[in-house]
A and B are shown apart, each in its own frame.
Chain A
């Protein structure tokens, strides 16, 4: 069974076997799990506080370095998130109470510049401490693969996928089943009404901000397992996160998952007829196309016109 895709002219005809197709599809789903975790952190902070957290990229990068650093100390990279994520959760809460609280009262332009500044500081910090060399974590465990018929799956990517999904499902449970989770959602829906119904908005925003940062850190830890990184790492992922959030819409969990799958599919299949160096462009092109055609995101298509 063959798929024929021709672009521009017949010289570019690409034959794709069914096996390749299957493998690319599986790889896309696995990547999507990670992408969903990564973008949910951004969506949570934007949804609740209406802040665009540009330092998201910096948190991804520093969490990846954190995992790397713990690995050099002999702590397994699979255990690193248990140290790195709570740390970032704490940092997020402290940030919110000291600085971000004041930024929230300012026009949106101020928050963009503020978080951009924080991101620059983080990048420079990484340059100073870890230098500009490209790092990655490899050992026997990270190179293991499983064969499943025609499918070849890397153990690492499977672990990353399931860890990401577990985090998202527990977060979803937290947001729907607990008082604090429901308060976060109430705040996202209508801050004024939430305050009037007696929700401690300060504490709940801090919690949401901490959770958003913690999710980003978790995604960063997972990324350290499968990507190489340097202090510039994260910039393209910030754009990807945003692209997914725009695709999926802010309010829904299903939307973010759908957006993540869309982007991962687009990226993995584009490699077949594009130089790999241009892969990071896919998210940008997709973002522009989505904004032109369905600015309200995929979910608006499902629900019909809003």
Chain B
């Protein structure tokens, strides 16, 4: 049984690895870009699940970590002239420290403090990043914005373009594949370790867990740090791939919504559920975003009602199948 599972995983990795080789012949490389984004979202979804699923602390602000990773990378590449991929761990670290700074006060307490704070953090961070250049002017940190913009405000930042665009995309594809495998491996390790056990225990009954000597707040903050680091690295990958970022887009609420939705759809708190959810979400999003249908003589673009569909999906899942797609599959198999 275990062997067969390993075989599936290896087969999946091999299949992903040959996609760039065949993508050109199928649809001029679009498949490669789509797969890159699917892999990035799988990593984000799996990373969100570490704090949201295992630890049971829902975060509506993970887009912030993603955006910080992207911005750190852009600023690093512009300022140092070194290859942008070197900034990946730095982007992760910045996101991690940022998460720690407000995660510590909000996770210490029981109750919905963390979840509510995450709703504000995205908005607050976007406002800071949009206005940072203005704020830095005439302050002691003036030298940061003297000759070039720091965050670029509303006009954004353009990363230095690589010598060989195609080769860079290909390299990033394989880095992303490796990163996704790493993220899933970390999630799997946490799932089977004492750390994961402690998180689950805290999630089920914090009081009981603390009576048994589990330091609830320390584990929760640690889970947030791991999660934020991984999402920050994913953001860094994004910045390198698209080469242009601006605060309005990178810190938009929709990424945070996506990171809540994907694991919930797939199966919150499981190892493979979030990955499955991300795959379903991203592929459906790609296929459906341009679809339209008629309702009462009015043409409705599916892109205009996507929030409603996401909301409806959340409500239906919570009411009827809290285990998500994975839970549904299990139930079908039992029958």
To the question of whether A and B form a pair in one complex, the answer is yes
Could you tell me which A residues sit within 8 Å of B by CB distance?
8-9, 11, 52, 54, 99, 102-103, 106-110, 112-114, 116-125, 127-128, 235-236, 238-239, 242, 246, 275, 277-278, 280-281, 283-285, 287-288, 291-292, 295
Closest 7 CB pairs of A and B: A117-B314, A120-B311, A124-B307, A124-B308, A121-B311, A239-B120, A284-B120
B106 contacts partner chain A, Cβ-Cβ < 8 Å: yes
CB closest chain-A residue, reference B104: A292
CB closest chain-A residue, reference B257: A120
- Given the known inter-chain contacts A119-B311, A124-B308, A246-B113, please indicate yes or no for A109 contacting B124, CB distance below 8 A: no
Cβ of A275: which chain B residues have Cβ within 8 Å of it? Answer: 131, 134-135
In the complex, are the beta carbons of A8 and B313 less than 8 A apart?
no
The segment from B14-22, B72-80, B161-169, B315-323 that touches chain A is B315-323
Shortest beta-carbon distance, B276 to chain A, in Å? 18
Contact string against A for B residues 278-322, beta-carbon threshold 8 Å, 1 for contact and 0 otherwise: 000000000000000000000000001111101111110111001
Among A116, A235, A236, A280, point to the contact of B314 (Cβ < 8 A): A116
B88 contacts partner chain A, Cβ-Cβ < 8 Å: no
Cβ of A292: which chain B residues have Cβ within 8 Å of it? Answer: 105
In the complex, are the beta carbons of A118 and B120 less than 8 A apart?
no
In the complex, are the beta carbons of A54 and B119 less than 8 A apart?
yes
Q: How many A-B residue pairs have CB under 8 A?
A: 126
In the complex, are the beta carbons of A284 and B58 less than 8 A apart?
no
In the complex, are the beta carbons of B105 and A291 less than 8 A apart?
yes
CA distance A9 to B138 in the complex (A): 10
Among B305, B312, B318, point to the contact of A113 (Cβ < 8 A): B318
B11 contacts partner chain A, Cβ-Cβ < 8 Å: no
In the complex, are the beta carbons of A125 and B308 less than 8 A apart?
yes
CA distance A278 to B60 in the complex (A): 20
CA distance A302 to B215 in the complex (A): 30
In the complex, are the beta carbons of A118 and B307 less than 8 A apart?
no
In the complex, are the beta carbons of A278 and B127 less than 8 A apart?
yes
B207 contacts partner chain A, Cβ-Cβ < 8 Å: no
B116 contacts partner chain A, Cβ-Cβ < 8 Å: yes
CA distance A79 to B113 in the complex (A): 36
22 interchain pairs (CB within 8 A)? A110-B322, A112-B112, A113-B264, A114-B318, A116-B260, A116-B314, A117-B312, A119-B311, A120-B307, A121-B311, A121-B312, A124-B306, A124-B311, A127-B304, A127-B307, A238-B116, A239-B117, A246-B113, A280-B127, A284-B121, A285-B124, A291-B117
Among A8, A278, A295, point to the contact of B108 (Cβ < 8 A): A295
Query: 19 additional contacts, CB 8 Å, given A112-B58, A124-B311, A284-B121?
Result: A52-B112, A99-B319, A103-B319, A108-B112, A109-B268, A112-B112, A114-B315, A114-B319, A117-B310, A117-B311, A120-B308, A235-B123, A236-B120, A280-B123, A284-B124, A285-B124, A288-B106, A291-B106, A291-B113
- Given the known inter-chain contacts A52-B112, A109-B58, A117-B310, please indicate yes or no for A280 contacting B124, CB distance below 8 A: yes
Cβ of A119: which chain B residues have Cβ within 8 Å of it? Answer: 311
- Given the known inter-chain contacts A52-B116, A235-B119, A236-B120, please indicate yes or no for A8 contacting B310, CB distance below 8 A: no
In the complex, are the beta carbons of A118 and B315 less than 8 A apart?
yes
Shortest beta-carbon distance, B59 to chain A, in Å? 10
B184 contacts partner chain A, Cβ-Cβ < 8 Å: no
Cβ of A109: which chain B residues have Cβ within 8 Å of it? Answer: 56, 58, 268
Shortest beta-carbon distance, B205 to chain A, in Å? 10
Shortest beta-carbon distance, A266 to chain B, in Å? 14
B102 contacts partner chain A, Cβ-Cβ < 8 Å: yes
Shortest beta-carbon distance, A283 to chain B, in Å? 7
Contact string against A for B residues 119-137, beta-carbon threshold 8 Å, 1 for contact and 0 otherwise: 1110110011011001100
Cβ of B253: which chain A residues have Cβ within 8 Å of it? Answer: 235
CA distance A112 to B60 in the complex (A): 10
Contact string against A for B residues 257-287, beta-carbon threshold 8 Å, 1 for contact and 0 otherwise: 1001000100010000000000000000000
In the complex, are the beta carbons of B56 and A107 less than 8 A apart?
yes
**Which of A119, A121, A277 gathers the greatest number of chain B CB atoms within 10 Å?**
A121
- Given the known inter-chain contacts A112-B58, A113-B264, please indicate yes or no for A236 contacting B123, CB distance below 8 A: yes
Shortest beta-carbon distance, A195 to chain B, in Å? 22
Shortest beta-carbon distance, B326 to chain A, in Å? 16
CA distance A8 to B141 in the complex (A): 11
B139 contacts partner chain A, Cβ-Cβ < 8 Å: yes
